[in-house]
Amino acid sequence: MKVYSGVEIRNLAVVGHNDTGKTTLVSQLLFNAGAITRLGRIDEGTTVTDFDTDEIDRKHSISAAIAFAEWKNTKINLIDTPGFGIFLMESKSAMRIADSAVVLVSGVTGVEVTTERVWKFADEYDLPRMVIVNKMDRERASFARTLESLQKKFGKNVVPIQIPIGEEKDFKGIIDLVAMKAHTYAADGSGKFEIADIPADLASEAAEWREKLIEKVAEGDDTLMERFFEQGGLSQEELLDGLNRETLHRQICPVLFTSASHNIGGHAVLDAFVALLPSPEEVKTIDGKNKKGEKLTFDRRPEAFPAALIFKTFSDPFSGRVSLFRVYSGTFKSDSTYWNASRDHEERIGKLQVLQGKQQMPIAELRAGDIGAVAKLKDVHTGDTISAKDHMFVLEHIAYPEAAISFAVEAKARGDEDKLGTAIARVIEEDPTIRFSRDERTKELLISGQGQLHVEIAVSKLKKKYGVDVILHPPKVPYRETITRAAEAHGRHKKQSGGHGQFADCKIIMEPLPRGAEFEFVDEIFGGSIPRQYIPAVEKGIQDARLKGFLAGYPVVDFRVRLKDGQYHDVDSSEMAFKIAGSMAFQQGMEQGRPTLLEPIMHVDINAPSEYVGDLMGDLTSRRGKMEGVEAEDDAQTLRARVPFSEMLTYGSTLRSITQGRGSFHMEYSHYEEVPRNLQEKIIAESKKAQAAQHAAH
């Protein structure tokens, strides 16, 4: 296979809302470029970039995938990304290593939630972009309405460089406003088309749109503006050069029209990628840091020192773990040794590959600007930088968001418990937005993700790929118990039964402590009423009893025990007897100390468009939340509140429903507070019922 470099490469992240046809478009482009022999279909599971079994079953993309088309001596690397909000970090990761963004929009629905979010990512990375309006063959597809939607949301820089010939079932091609020619496509999906003069009934409309395009291009260049006024227009070459420059500088976002499923408009899209979108040599400089933390700039020449960023990892049944990387500097060669600058160790790289979906094609070397893959690296993870040992660089990768929802997880089969941790670690390698942890308060293993569907897909992978079947439960709320007033208590354990008896007596005072103080034990014994060797046993008895709880089986916290007095017997006293006496004193102290339940309160930040703030505040109030403030940020607002954890277990789906998928939230533990009395009775009753069921089962 040919080795490409620099100006011969285009790296495009194909992004947009779900169901806009991103995966079908990639298949269409690969077919038209001759990279595949058949136009893939999502409903048949035959597309190049949706090859995971979950993607085929669900008929939508779950993770980013790479394919490439060779067109007019240019290698076009296409990164197909998911459109569902819970998988958006896949899009962000792709855009981090791409040189431009291709934003897909449906000709029926126009700008949607994810369109706005990926546009913001493109702004974050200063990416030139192009909009492709797909599904122009569908019922209710509209050129005018879709363009209005785009310009209203993203500004007048969004400019068509084509207009469609027909709409809905009559859509049969496009008019190229640069060359002023009509491309009419065959109805059989073969992609064959004829180039001819513009039909008479569309000539005036095309002339009008071309005039608008020329004006927009000339705006950005004084020389072109002068020529425009002198000549009354621009030549095709001048227009193309100006369009290329303005696209690179993000002053124009070209709009094109297709029907990917009917293979209309594909060739013109490939032409536009090559002519208008930047090569790796044209985009802004990528910076890295050396070991001292000093900023250094990359040299993009193939002969420079090598540096590459690992931006994705996936597991292949035949090759094992496959690492995808973008070369930023120099040349990487097969069967060579490099340095993992992020983890400071040597890494042997075997056969380099380029990917066509899941198909791995060997290549001798990959030069600056290109994207490739390598299997079975020893200790390399997503986000690591591979470089030369004597020119170590660390490139910054994206920061992954906190998980939005957690579930308790347990292996279905007892023998799978040991395999569970290893299998989840593999899933996290493929998707770093999945989290796995142990809750020290409830002792549960938790799997966390961006939404319930996200976690369910991770669980599906555990079973299909790694043979570990698990059960999901909502996480337990880690309630706590405490006392609200001081109490004196007496624990006396006396048992006589042939031979040695058992005797221990202790008197304690239990006092409330501030929140977060946990437990304190103070020995105030004087005069030896309890011998020194038995005092730790009293504390141990109280500790064991407090962890089992009093009201509802939750640990008792935020109190102090002062051991004041007691009695012992020379023969019958023992550590065990004092341990029992300590637990008895604790039980009596709890009865008299007016016990109560505590619940964890979470600090919650919610980001959403301004129009939803009222509904969100109302919902938080219904969840016993206390508002702490609202901060404005562009056209969005951030609500800050403190909300009981028990009220936030299903918040992700509610937020999605209220904001139509345009909101996000983050929460972290803040403190414990007393549970309202009316709710305490319900929690205690449910706990006792669960304990009774557990005893019955045993």
The angle at the Cα of 535, spanning 532 to 537, to the nearest 5 degrees, equals: 130
- All structural domains of the chain, each given as residue ranges with its CATH number in brackets, are 7-201+251-276 (3.40.50.300), 287-387 (2.40.30.10), 407-473 (3.30.70.870), 480-593 (3.30.230.10), 599-678 (3.30.70.240)
Packing angle of the helix pair 236-248, 266-276 (nearest 10 deg): 70
Residue with tokens 């809750």, as numbered in its chain: 439
Q: CA 464 from chain center: how many Å?
A: 22
In this prediction, residue 161 carries a pLDDT of 97
DSSP letter for each residue of 519-544:
EEEEE---TTSS-GGGHHHHHHHHHH
Tokens of 322: 């496959």
Cα separation of the two ends of the chain: 66
In this prediction, residue 441 carries a pLDDT of 62
Torsion sign across C-alpha atoms 424, 428, 430, 434: positive
Query: How far apart (Å, rounded) are the C-alpha atoms in residues 77 and 565?
Result: 79
E strands in 330-442 = 331-333, 336-340, 345-349, 352-356, 359-362, 365-367, 371-375, 385-387, 405-411, 435-438
Query: How far apart (Å, rounded) are the C-alpha atoms in residues 161 and 213?
Result: 7
Who contacts 150 (Cβ-Cβ below 8 Å, separation ≥6)?
105, 110, 111, 131, 158, 255
Q: What is the pTM of this model?
A: 0.76
Contact call for residues 33 and 270 (beta carbons, < 8 A) = yes
In this prediction, residue 155 carries a pLDDT of 94
In this prediction, residue 303 carries a pLDDT of 67
Query: How far apart (Å, rounded) are the C-alpha atoms in residues 132 and 162?
Result: 10
Residue 556, exposed/middle/buried by CB under 10 A (0-12, 13-18, 19+)?
buried
Q: CA 619 from chain center: how many Å?
A: 25
Helix (H) or strand (E) holding 642: strand 636-644
- What's at 111, amino acid-wise? V
Provide the greatest CA pair distance for the chain: 120
In this prediction, residue 58 carries a pLDDT of 74
Query: How far apart (Å, rounded) are the C-alpha atoms in residues 388 and 685?
Result: 64
Query: How far apart (Å, rounded) are the C-alpha atoms in residues 112 and 88?
Result: 14
In this prediction, residue 304 carries a pLDDT of 75
Ranges of the chain whose pLDDT falls below 70: 43-44, 53-56, 228, 230, 232, 284-303, 402, 404, 441-442, 498-499, 633-635, 694-695, 697-698
Contact call for residues 579 and 482 (beta carbons, < 8 A) = no
Contact call for residues 338 and 327 (beta carbons, < 8 A) = no
Query: How far apart (Å, rounded) are the C-alpha atoms in residues 372 and 443?
Result: 42
